[in-house]
Amino acid sequence: MATFGIDLGTTYSCVAHIDDTGRPAIIKNRPGDDTTPSVVYFESPDNVVVGKEAKAVAKIQPDLVVSLIKRQMGKSFEITVHGQAHSPESISALILRELADAAGENLGEEVRDVVITVPAYFGVAERNATRKAGEIAGLNVLSIVDEPVAAALHYDAISAGGTKTIFVYDLGGGTFDTTVIKVSPEEIQVVCTDGDHHLGGADWDDRLAEYLLEQFLAEHPGTEAADDEEFLQSLAAGAEDIKKQLSRMQSRRFNARFGGDTSQIEVTREKFEELTAELVERTATITRRTLRTAADRGITEFDDVLLVGGSSRMPAVTAVLEGLGLKPRMHDPDLAVAKGAARYALIESIKVHLPEEGGEAPAEVVEEVAEQLNIPVEKVRALAGKRVATVVPRAFGVKVVNREGGREHYTIEHVLRANTPLPAETEPQRFGTAYPNQIEISVEIWEQSGSVESEALEDNEHIAEGLISGLPPLPENSPIDISFQMAADGLLRVHAVELKTRQDLHIEVQIRGGLSDEQVHAARTAVARYNVSA
């Protein structure tokens, strides 16, 4: 059974498999590139184009092009193109279909069993949406794996054995995250994770494109260039090109042309770094925060600091990390996640043959896989035994009435904290009824939405609720104990007990806004109808 790893990125995606030498290998897309822009162009009601051609028309026909859809994953978000409504899942499915079809064609073998990567900070809803996108695309999703875990798996495969602590700095096209991971022969264990979901290479492009426009307008005041979509598209594309070149060179020139007006705009690396210094500094702030969280857990030294994500190629990134006393190392930044995912897919395909309650893989399964992949039996056995342990990506808590300063307002009190190892179970936390003679207690479960824990309602999202009712009138501040439990797969359960009557409430958090089975089925039919190409 061939298995594949798919890095479904915010801006670029990539597919890898384990080749017949037993090593992970990238499968090129139709134009022959390693990575494919995660951009969908609805050319006509029947035709969809995915990849660099789609990206090229993004600003010219913005109504027909969808980019950065990963930012909407897990949200109730709808976009209608040519009269057909789409969800983040169905758009992502179109990308996945093109990736899988192109890879399949390239290899001459169907791509069906896959592992798809997600950022470590993705919550239950986003992970679920990603899995459904795979199903809509007609794929069999073996598992969803965290991007830094995949990067660590790839690192593990190419580094010498032993236990290592690594810091993964992943600056992609649209998101930034940091993760501390312990890698040992038996286990990959996430220690903590942090990030900014709205910070990535695209922001660097925007800053540079603004600068190019400013320079052009300074030379040609009074033109209408700033209102011309095609001109802006050329600046955006030019900005990304120049940015990439400035990772290797000290200075680049951009030729801007609008109508009869032309400008040769010189951009030095120094100028570019000045324009974007604030963005790099934001990654430093989050890096410092992650180092503090790791230090709280006793980790102050790193065997390696891995740079992942295309944007980590910018020299300013290395410089800022060195300034923090770290020694970063580039690690196959665009492809490490897909390659690690391919390795994870292999692990998963071995594990499906394992006995439920752990134990060794049956010898014949191990031998069969070893033979299929032409890798030593011992290596397959080691992979089969590898555990992956992750953490609670974001804090969860309950809504409480707060009377500080005489004013009554609501806040969120977090019970299950971010970065608690999974599976997690909290001690019961004591709360009290809010009013005299209360006969029912409403328990609202909220999830932290940003990357920093905050008790303000607007920094959290309401995800579930329950009611304990039929209570005798209770005095104010009667005790209620609430505990949280999260399984390794992210399923959250909450238990609340009113201590006087011992009436209790179990809430199993169902994902809100997710697609139902019927919706997945309908989307699958709709997506299958399209002619998808690159």
Which of the residues 170 through 189 are near ligand ADP (CB under 6 A)? 172-175
Q: Is the peptide bond before 423 cis (omega within 30 degrees of 0)?
A: yes
What is the CB neighbour count within 10 angstroms for residue 169? 29
Long-range contacts of 354-362 (CB under 8 A, 24+ apart): 354/384, 360/384, 360/385, 361/385
Task: For residue 36, state whether it binds ligand ADP (rule: CB under 6 A).
Answer: no
Contacts of 268 (CB under 8 A, 6+ apart): 250, 251
Q: Can you tell me which residue has the tokens 């915010």?
A: 10
Provide the minimum distance between the beta carbon of 255 and ligand ADP in the complex, in angstroms, as a whole number: 20
The 318-357 site mask, x for binding ligand ADP (CB under 6 A), equals ----------------x-----------------------
- C-alpha 92/C-alpha 500 separation (Å) is 50
Q: Are 356 and 113 in contact (CB under 8 A)?
A: no
- Of Mg ion, ligand ADP, none, which one does residue 351 interact with (CB within 5 to 8 Å by kind)? none
Task: For residue 200, state whether it binds ligand ADP (rule: CB under 6 A).
Answer: yes
Among 310, 385, 393, 514, binds ligand ADP (CB under 6 A): 310
Strands lying side by side in the sheet with 47-50: 65-66, 40-42, 47-50, 531-533
Task: For residue 9, state whether it binds Mg ion (rule: CB under 5 A).
Answer: yes
Task: For residue 148, state whether it binds ligand ADP (rule: CB under 6 A).
Answer: no
From 169-177, 190-198, 461-469, 504-512, give the range in contact with ligand ADP by CB under 6 A.
Answer: 169-177
Provide the minimum distance between the beta carbon of 200 and ligand ADP in the complex, in angstroms, as a whole number: 5
Provide the minimum distance between the beta carbon of 112 and ligand ADP in the complex, in angstroms, as a whole number: 23
Task: For residue 51, state whether it binds ligand ADP (rule: CB under 6 A).
Answer: no
Provide the minimum distance between the beta carbon of 348 and ligand ADP in the complex, in angstroms, as a whole number: 21
Range list of H helices, 247-362:
269-296, 315-323, 336-351
Task: For residue 123, state whether it binds ligand ADP (rule: CB under 6 A).
Answer: no
Helix or strand holding residue 489 (H, E): none
Task: For residue 119, state whether it binds ligand ADP (rule: CB under 6 A).
Answer: no
Residue of 374, 382, 308 whose CA lies nearest to 351: 382
- Of Mg ion, ligand ADP, none, which one does residue 231 interact with (CB within 5 to 8 Å by kind)? none
Beta carbon nearer to ligand ADP, 320 or 515: 320
From 59-67, 223-231, 237-245, 278-286, give the range in contact with ligand ADP by CB under 6 A.
Answer: 237-245
Task: For residue 247, state whether it binds ligand ADP (rule: CB under 6 A).
Answer: yes
- C-alpha 121/C-alpha 423 separation (Å) is 16
Provide the minimum distance between the beta carbon of 92 and ligand ADP in the complex, in angstroms, as a whole number: 12
The 155-194 site mask, x for binding Mg ion (CB under 5 A), equals -----------------x----------------------
As separate numbers, helices (DSSP H) first and strands (DSSP E) second, the chain gives 12, 29
What three-state secondary structure class fits 84? strand
- C-alpha 519/C-alpha 125 separation (Å) is 16
The 290-329 site mask, x for binding Mg ion (CB under 5 A), equals ----------------------------------------
Q: Are 51 and 39 in contact (CB under 8 A)?
A: yes
C-alpha radius of gyration, the chain, whole number: 25
Provide the minimum distance between the beta carbon of 371 and ligand ADP in the complex, in angstroms, as a whole number: 34
Q: Can you tell me which residue has the tokens 């009611």?
A: 467
From 3-11, 105-113, 436-444, 499-507, give the range in contact with Mg ion by CB under 5 A.
Answer: 3-11
What is the CB neighbour count within 10 angstroms for residue 76? 12
Q: How many residues would you count in the chain?
A: 534
Provide the minimum distance between the beta carbon of 152 and ligand ADP in the complex, in angstroms, as a whole number: 16
Provide the minimum distance between the beta carbon of 183 and ligand ADP in the complex, in angstroms, as a whole number: 21
Task: For residue 333, state whether it binds Mg ion (rule: CB under 5 A).
Answer: no
- By rule CB under 6 A, what count of residues binds ligand ADP? 22
Contacts of 164 (CB under 8 A, 6+ apart): 156, 182, 183, 184, 303, 304
Provide the minimum distance between the beta carbon of 216 and ligand ADP in the complex, in angstroms, as a whole number: 21
Provide the minimum distance between the beta carbon of 311 and ligand ADP in the complex, in angstroms, as a whole number: 4
Residue of 140, 146, 139, 90 whose CA lies nearest to 118: 146
Task: For residue 431, state whether it binds ligand ADP (rule: CB under 6 A).
Answer: no
- Of Mg ion, ligand ADP, none, which one does residue 240 interact with (CB within 5 to 8 Å by kind)? ligand ADP
Beta carbon nearer to Mg ion, 9 or 51: 9
Answer positive or negative: Cα dihedral of 125, 129, 135, 139. Answer: negative
Among 10, 189, 276, 419, binds ligand ADP (CB under 6 A): 10
Q: Are 315 and 328 in contact (CB under 8 A)?
A: no
Among 11, 29, 143, 349, binds ligand ADP (CB under 6 A): 11
Provide the minimum distance between the beta carbon of 320 and ligand ADP in the complex, in angstroms, as a whole number: 14
What is the CB neighbour count within 10 angstroms for residue 531? 10
Beta carbon nearer to ligand ADP, 305 or 314: 314
Residue of 314, 327, 338 whose CA lies nearest to 243: 314
Q: Are 130 and 173 in contact (CB under 8 A)?
A: no
Provide the minimum distance between the beta carbon of 337 and Mg ion in the complex, in angstroms, as a whole number: 5
Beta carbon nearer to Mg ion, 24 or 238: 24
* Token representation of residue 435: 């009013």
Provide the minimum distance between the beta carbon of 524 and Mg ion in the complex, in angstroms, as a whole number: 26
Q: Are 258 and 265 in contact (CB under 8 A)?
A: no
Q: Which residues bind Mg ion (CB under 5 A)?
A: 9, 172
Q: Which residues bind ligand ADP (CB under 6 A)?
A: 9-12, 35, 172-175, 200-202, 240, 243-244, 247, 309-311, 313-314, 334
